Protein backbone atom coordinates (compact mmCIF):
# COMPACT_ATOMS: atom_id res chain seq x y z
CA UNK A 1 0.00 0.00 0.00
CA UNK A 2 2.65 2.64 0.83
CA UNK A 3 4.35 1.95 -2.53
CA UNK A 4 1.23 2.87 -4.43
CA UNK A 5 0.85 5.86 -2.16
CA UNK A 6 4.37 6.98 -3.05
CA UNK A 7 3.61 6.76 -6.76
CA UNK A 8 0.39 8.73 -6.34
CA UNK A 9 2.09 11.37 -4.24
CA UNK A 10 4.83 11.74 -6.84
CA UNK A 11 2.14 12.42 -9.45
CA UNK A 12 0.52 14.93 -7.14
CA UNK A 13 3.86 16.68 -6.72
CA UNK A 14 4.28 16.90 -10.47
CA UNK A 15 0.75 18.35 -10.71
CA UNK A 16 1.66 21.10 -8.26
CA UNK A 17 4.89 21.82 -10.15
CA UNK A 18 2.81 22.30 -13.32
CA UNK A 19 0.37 24.48 -11.42
CA UNK A 20 3.22 26.63 -10.17
CA UNK A 21 4.62 27.03 -13.71
CA UNK A 22 1.20 27.89 -15.04
CA UNK A 23 0.56 30.45 -12.30
CA UNK A 24 4.01 31.93 -12.98
CA UNK A 25 3.06 32.26 -16.66
CA UNK A 26 -0.23 33.96 -15.79
CA UNK A 27 1.58 36.41 -13.55
CA UNK A 28 4.29 37.06 -16.16
CA UNK A 29 1.51 38.05 -18.57
CA UNK A 30 -0.30 40.39 -16.21
CA UNK A 31 0.40 43.30 -18.60
CA UNK A 32 -0.03 41.43 -21.90
CA UNK A 33 -2.76 42.78 -24.17
CA UNK A 34 -5.93 40.67 -24.07
CA UNK A 35 -4.13 37.77 -22.34
CA UNK A 36 -6.50 35.08 -21.14
CA UNK A 37 -5.47 33.33 -17.97
CA UNK A 38 -4.99 29.58 -17.84
CA UNK A 39 -6.65 27.58 -15.14
CA UNK A 40 -5.48 24.17 -14.06
CA UNK A 41 -7.79 22.16 -11.90
CA UNK A 42 -7.43 18.63 -10.61
CA UNK A 43 -10.01 15.97 -11.00
CA UNK A 44 -10.00 12.67 -9.19
CA UNK A 45 -10.91 9.73 -11.29
CA UNK A 46 -13.00 6.90 -10.05
CA UNK A 47 -10.78 4.62 -8.04
CA UNK A 48 -7.74 6.72 -8.87
CA UNK A 49 -5.65 8.09 -6.06
CA UNK A 50 -3.96 10.94 -7.88
CA UNK A 51 -5.47 14.00 -9.53
CA UNK A 52 -5.73 14.31 -13.30
CA UNK A 53 -4.86 17.82 -14.43
CA UNK A 54 -7.60 19.56 -16.39
CA UNK A 55 -6.72 22.81 -18.07
CA UNK A 56 -9.03 25.56 -19.19
CA UNK A 57 -8.45 28.93 -20.70
CA UNK A 58 -10.53 31.46 -18.82
CA UNK A 59 -12.02 33.56 -21.61
CA UNK A 60 -13.75 36.09 -19.38
CA UNK A 61 -13.58 39.68 -20.57
CA UNK A 62 -10.60 41.80 -19.51
CA UNK A 63 -11.01 45.46 -18.67
CA UNK A 64 -11.02 47.78 -21.68
CA UNK A 65 -8.46 50.52 -21.49
CA UNK A 66 -8.83 53.67 -23.55
CA UNK A 67 -5.64 54.52 -25.46
CA UNK A 68 -6.89 57.03 -28.02
CA UNK A 69 -4.91 55.26 -30.77
CA UNK A 70 -6.99 54.72 -33.92
CA UNK A 71 -5.40 51.32 -34.62
CA UNK A 72 -6.18 49.93 -31.17
CA UNK A 73 -9.25 47.71 -31.32
CA UNK A 74 -10.68 45.87 -28.35
CA UNK A 75 -13.40 43.26 -28.42
CA UNK A 76 -16.22 43.84 -25.98
CA UNK A 77 -17.89 40.46 -25.57
CA UNK A 78 -17.10 36.96 -26.75
CA UNK A 79 -15.26 36.58 -30.05
CA UNK A 80 -11.94 36.85 -31.85
CA UNK A 81 -10.30 38.66 -34.73
CA UNK A 82 -8.83 36.45 -37.46
CA UNK A 83 -5.12 36.59 -38.31
CA UNK A 84 -3.89 35.13 -41.59
CA UNK A 85 -0.56 33.42 -40.87
CA UNK A 86 1.67 31.24 -43.01
CA UNK A 87 0.40 28.26 -40.99
CA UNK A 88 -3.27 29.09 -41.50
CA UNK A 89 -5.87 31.20 -39.78
CA UNK A 90 -5.40 32.03 -36.14
CA UNK A 91 -7.70 33.72 -33.65
CA UNK A 92 -6.71 36.63 -31.46
CA UNK A 93 -8.15 39.28 -29.19
CA UNK A 94 -4.95 41.34 -29.06
CA UNK A 95 -6.10 44.24 -31.21
CA UNK A 96 -3.23 46.69 -31.00
CA UNK A 97 -2.75 46.77 -34.77
CA UNK A 98 -0.09 48.09 -37.11
CA UNK A 99 0.17 48.89 -40.79
CA UNK A 100 2.70 47.14 -43.00
CA UNK A 101 4.54 48.57 -46.03
CA UNK A 102 1.55 47.81 -48.26
CA UNK A 103 -0.77 49.67 -45.89
CA UNK A 104 -2.48 46.50 -44.69
CA UNK A 105 -3.76 46.09 -41.14
CA UNK A 106 -1.49 43.62 -39.36
CA UNK A 107 -0.72 42.35 -35.89
CA UNK A 108 2.65 42.94 -34.19
CA UNK A 109 4.24 40.20 -36.30
CA UNK A 110 3.23 41.57 -39.68
CA UNK A 111 0.53 38.98 -40.31
CA UNK A 112 -2.67 40.50 -41.74
CA UNK A 113 -5.85 40.85 -39.74
CA UNK A 114 -8.50 39.53 -42.06
CA UNK A 115 -11.67 41.17 -43.22
CA UNK A 116 -14.46 39.49 -45.12
CA UNK A 117 -12.57 40.17 -48.36
CA UNK A 118 -9.16 39.12 -47.01
CA UNK A 119 -6.39 41.47 -45.83
CA UNK A 120 -7.53 45.08 -45.41
CA UNK A 121 -5.45 47.77 -47.07
CA UNK A 122 -5.83 51.27 -45.69
CA UNK A 123 -4.91 54.14 -47.93
CA UNK A 124 -6.23 57.42 -46.71
CA UNK A 125 -5.95 59.56 -43.67
CA UNK A 126 -8.89 58.81 -41.43
CA UNK A 127 -9.56 55.31 -40.16
CA UNK A 128 -12.82 54.49 -38.45
CA UNK A 129 -13.77 51.06 -37.17
CA UNK A 130 -17.38 50.64 -36.14
CA UNK A 131 -18.76 48.41 -33.43
CA UNK A 132 -19.77 45.74 -35.95
CA UNK A 133 -16.28 45.69 -37.49
CA UNK A 134 -16.99 47.87 -40.51
CA UNK A 135 -13.78 49.58 -41.59
CA UNK A 136 -14.16 53.06 -43.05
CA UNK A 137 -11.33 54.99 -44.61
CA UNK A 138 -12.02 58.70 -45.06
CA UNK A 139 -15.71 57.94 -44.55
CA UNK A 140 -15.95 55.27 -47.26
CA UNK A 141 -16.62 51.64 -46.35
CA UNK A 142 -13.66 49.43 -47.26
CA UNK A 143 -14.34 46.07 -45.66
CA UNK A 144 -15.60 44.52 -42.48
CA UNK A 145 -13.28 42.89 -39.93
CA UNK A 146 -14.04 39.24 -39.45
CA UNK A 147 -15.26 38.66 -35.94
CA UNK A 148 -15.72 35.00 -35.07
CA UNK A 149 -15.97 32.54 -32.24
CA UNK A 150 -15.80 28.77 -31.87
CA UNK A 151 -18.56 26.37 -30.79
CA UNK A 152 -16.45 24.79 -28.04
CA UNK A 153 -13.88 27.22 -26.61
CA UNK A 154 -12.38 24.50 -24.39
CA UNK A 155 -10.80 23.03 -27.54
CA UNK A 156 -8.83 26.18 -28.32
CA UNK A 157 -5.08 25.84 -28.03
CA UNK A 158 -2.77 28.74 -27.31
CA UNK A 159 0.09 29.38 -29.67
CA UNK A 160 1.76 32.39 -28.07
CA UNK A 161 1.78 35.91 -29.57
CA UNK A 162 -1.75 36.21 -28.20
CA UNK A 163 -2.97 33.72 -30.79
CA UNK A 164 -5.30 30.76 -30.50
CA UNK A 165 -5.60 27.78 -32.81
CA UNK A 166 -8.97 26.19 -33.36
CA UNK A 167 -9.51 22.70 -34.77
CA UNK A 168 -13.15 23.51 -35.44
CA UNK A 169 -14.79 25.73 -38.03
CA UNK A 170 -15.47 29.22 -36.69
CA UNK A 171 -18.99 30.54 -36.22
CA UNK A 172 -20.37 34.10 -35.93
CA UNK A 173 -20.03 35.64 -32.45
CA UNK A 174 -23.00 36.46 -30.22
CA UNK A 175 -24.83 39.57 -31.47
CA UNK A 176 -23.90 41.52 -28.34
CA UNK A 177 -20.19 41.44 -29.23
CA UNK A 178 -18.91 44.85 -30.31
CA UNK A 179 -15.57 46.22 -31.36
CA UNK A 180 -14.28 49.29 -29.60
CA UNK A 181 -11.83 51.44 -31.47
CA UNK A 182 -9.22 53.46 -29.54
CA UNK A 183 -9.04 50.87 -26.76
CA UNK A 184 -7.14 47.73 -25.77
CA UNK A 185 -8.20 44.87 -23.56
CA UNK A 186 -6.18 44.21 -20.42
CA UNK A 187 -5.23 40.71 -19.28
CA UNK A 188 -7.98 39.08 -17.22
CA UNK A 189 -5.64 38.39 -14.32
CA UNK A 190 -6.07 39.44 -10.76
CA UNK A 191 -2.51 39.55 -9.37
CA UNK A 192 -3.79 39.17 -5.81
CA UNK A 193 -5.48 35.86 -6.60
CA UNK A 194 -2.26 34.71 -8.27
CA UNK A 195 -0.39 35.59 -5.12
CA UNK A 196 -2.74 33.55 -2.94
CA UNK A 197 -2.48 30.68 -5.44
CA UNK A 198 1.31 30.70 -5.16
CA UNK A 199 1.17 30.37 -1.36
CA UNK A 200 -1.44 27.61 -1.62
CA UNK A 201 0.63 25.70 -4.21
CA UNK A 202 3.76 25.93 -2.14
CA UNK A 203 2.03 24.70 1.02
CA UNK A 204 0.28 21.86 -0.78
CA UNK A 205 3.58 20.82 -2.34
CA UNK A 206 5.30 20.79 1.07
CA UNK A 207 2.45 18.83 2.63
CA UNK A 208 2.72 16.21 -0.09
CA UNK A 209 6.46 15.94 0.40
CA UNK A 210 5.79 15.39 4.13
CA UNK A 211 3.29 12.67 3.25
CA UNK A 212 5.84 11.09 0.94
CA UNK A 213 8.39 11.05 3.70
CA UNK A 214 5.93 9.52 6.17
CA UNK A 215 5.15 6.74 3.70
CA UNK A 216 8.83 6.23 3.08
CA UNK A 217 9.36 5.87 6.84
CA UNK A 218 6.55 3.35 7.05
CA UNK A 219 7.95 1.39 4.14
CA UNK A 220 11.36 1.43 5.72
CA UNK A 221 9.92 -0.02 8.94
CA UNK A 222 8.11 -2.73 7.00
CA UNK A 223 11.09 -3.77 4.92
CA UNK A 224 13.78 -3.49 7.58
CA UNK A 225 12.12 -4.14 10.92
CA UNK A 226 9.07 -6.35 10.42
CA UNK A 227 9.95 -9.95 10.98
CA UNK A 228 13.14 -9.22 12.83
CA UNK A 229 13.44 -11.35 15.93
CA UNK A 230 15.22 -10.17 18.99
Partner 1 sequence: MNPGLRTSASGMLAQQKMVDVIANNLANVNTTGFKRSRVSFEDVLYETVQGPRTVNAQSGETVSAVQIGKGVRLAAITRIHGQGAAEVTQRPLDLAIEGEGFFQVQRPDGTLAYTRDGTFTLSDSGSMVTANGYLLVPGITLPPDVSAVTVSPSGVVTADTGGGSLELGRIELARFVNPSGLLSVGENLYTETVASGTPIVGTAQEEGFGRLLQGVLEASNVEIVQEMTDMIAAQRAYEINAKAIRAGEEMMQVANEIIR
Considering the rule CB under 8 A, would residue 54 count as an interface residue with partner 1? yes
The correct pick among 7, 140, 171, 195 for binding partner 1 (CB under 8 A) is 195
Binding mask 71-110 for partner 1 (x = CB under 8 A): x----------------------x-x-xxxx-x----x--
Considering the rule CB under 8 A, would residue 136 count as an interface residue with partner 1? no
Using alpha carbons only, how large is the chain's radius of gyration in Å?
A: 25
Q: Which three-class secondary structure state does DSSP give residue 90?
A: strand
Binding mask 168-187 for partner 1 (x = CB under 8 A): ----------------x---
Considering the rule CB under 8 A, would residue 223 count as an interface residue with partner 1? no
Considering the rule CB under 8 A, would residue 157 count as an interface residue with partner 1? yes
The span from the CA of 178 to the CA of 77, in Å, is 7
Helices 191-224 and 2-28 pack at an angle, to 10 degrees, of 160
Considering the rule CB under 8 A, would residue 150 count as an interface residue with partner 1? no
Phi and psi torsions of 41, nearest 5°: -115, 165
Q: What is the DSSP string of 154-196?
A: GG-EEEETTEEE-SS--BPPPTT-EEEETEEEPP---HHHHHH
The correct pick among 1, 31, 88, 229 for binding partner 1 (CB under 8 A) is 31
Is the distance from CB of 162 to CB of 34 less than 8 angstroms?
Answer: yes
The span from the CA of 115 to the CA of 133, in Å, is 9
Residues near partner 1, by CB under 8 A: 13, 16-18, 20-25, 27-33, 35, 38, 40, 43, 45-46, 52-56, 67-71, 94, 96, 98-101, 103, 108, 122-127, 137-138, 154-155, 157-162, 184, 191, 194-195, 198-199, 201-202, 205-206, 209, 212-213
Amino acid sequence: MPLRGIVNTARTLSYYTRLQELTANNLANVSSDAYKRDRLTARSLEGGGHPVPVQQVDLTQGTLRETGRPLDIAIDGAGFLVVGTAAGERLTRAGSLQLDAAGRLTDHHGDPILGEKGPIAISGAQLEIRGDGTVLVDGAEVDRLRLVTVPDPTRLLKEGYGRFVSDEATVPPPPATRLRQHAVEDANIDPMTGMVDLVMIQRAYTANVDALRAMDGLLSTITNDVGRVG
